[in-house]
Amino acid sequence: MPGFEMFGDAERKEVNDVLDNGVLMRYGFDPMRNGHWKAKSLEKELSRVLKVEHAQLVSSGTAAVSVALASAGVGYGDEVIMPTFTFVASFEAILMLGATPVLVDIDDTLTLDPKAVENAITERTKAVMVVQMCGSMGHMDALRSVCEQHDLVFVEDACQAIGGSYKGKPLGSIADLGCFSFDFVKTMTCGEGGAVVTNNQDYYIKSDHYSDHGHDHVGDNRGLETHPFLGYNFRISELHAAVGLAQVRRLKEFVARQQSYHQIIEEAISGIPGVTMRKVPEGGELSGAFINFFLPDLESARAVAKAFSEQGIDACFHYFDNNWHYVRKWDHLKQSLSLNRLAPEVQKALSTLATNDYSQSDHFIARNLSCLIKLSWTEAEVQARAAKMASIVQAVLR
């Protein structure tokens, strides 16, 4: 991670094919295309790789979450349960639909705690969204059981986890709907882009229409298409899809490299007294995009993060002090600082975030360090990095 580190002839060929063909929009202009359909081809490849019936490309991972929730009927008055640890896009996508994000604690998987989810369910709860942060997964069986018991839509945000799996199923394919991001820093990139995947044909049809102004995509004349319901513009372009098409064909290579590098670093640091690794549920396989480990306390985590930075170990994050990924620093959300007016009940719900008890999440995030694994490294560089990381951690904990 990220895939842009591996750009080469395959990506250039697909992009030049679009430029030579001249049709940059994914829909229409059939006579000009001469059979070239990059977005359709990428959707087909994603369905195959992710072992799902349907894939709908959209403009971003954020759009994927909004489109997925909308296709399941989530909107004004509904609550969506989500974790305290994620990217800000998770709550942005919910708020955009007029729904209310309900933030609950994580556990040592760094994803939703099933017990916290169950305790947060109200008569307004419509969906539960697990976010597979940093290339791993939550307790998927337990979370699905909670959703089934309460008749809730189960959504899987796998934007950071493509290539991981749980009990043989690719992450993103397990819930009712799965969401992916293909932005510039993801393992597989389109530059900008995302996808909704599902085995539910109704959700797929709705996501297909909703992401393109409600167009029904029936026939070969875009001007004659009808609009069964309102939609918006979350389309991907053929240029972005072309990059993704080349990258998805290399995804197996990318993930194998990530996983190999992850293993090297884990072997170097996991045996250090005071270090514990992130919990991976039984049957789970990491994508290897990040390596996550816990230190004994907040002070030691901050000390190691500082030492890493000072000694050239880049791309390591202490999310407790991070503005983008943890509830602690989301003041704009807590204060409803939006350019458009939010519904009063949404503002009221958000105002409680400042006083809610997230001590369980703090317990894990305060002690966690998350280090990106780059595809561009050589194995020798990874070995040296792992040894240096281990040396720094040992010195701090000593």
Strands (E), 99-239: 100-104, 125-131, 153-157, 165-166, 169-170, 177-181, 194-198
Determine which helix (DSSP H) or strand (DSSP E) holds 42, and give its type and residue range.
helix 38-50
Sheet of 165-166: strand order equals 169-170, 165-166, 284-285
Closest to 55 measured CA to CA, from 70, 42, 36? 42
Instruction: Examine the residue annotation and report whether 186 is marked as an active-site residue of this protein.
Output: yes
Cα–Cα dist 74/76, whole Å: 7
259-295: b or e for each residue (b if 16 or more CB lie within 10 Å)?
bebbebbbebbeebeebeebbbbeebbbbbbbbbbbb
Cα–Cα dist 161/159, whole Å: 6
Using CB atoms within 10 A of its CB, is residue 314 exposed (0-12), middle (13-18) or buried (19+)?
exposed
Cα–Cα dist 24/64, whole Å: 21
Cα–Cα dist 182/64, whole Å: 10
Q: Which residue has the tokens 């969506």?
A: 80
Residue 13 CA, chain-centre distance (Å), reads 28
DSSP state of 27: S
40: number of CA atoms within 13 Å, CB side? 11
Q: Are β-strands 125-131 and 316-317 bridged in parallel, bridged antiparallel, or unpaired?
A: unpaired
Alpha-carbon distance values, 58 to 68, 240, 267, 300 (Å): 10, 10, 38, 41
Q: Is the peptide bond before 2 cis (omega within 30 degrees of 0)?
A: yes
- Residue in 186, 206, 279, 374 annotated catalytic: 186
* Residues with catalytic roles: 186
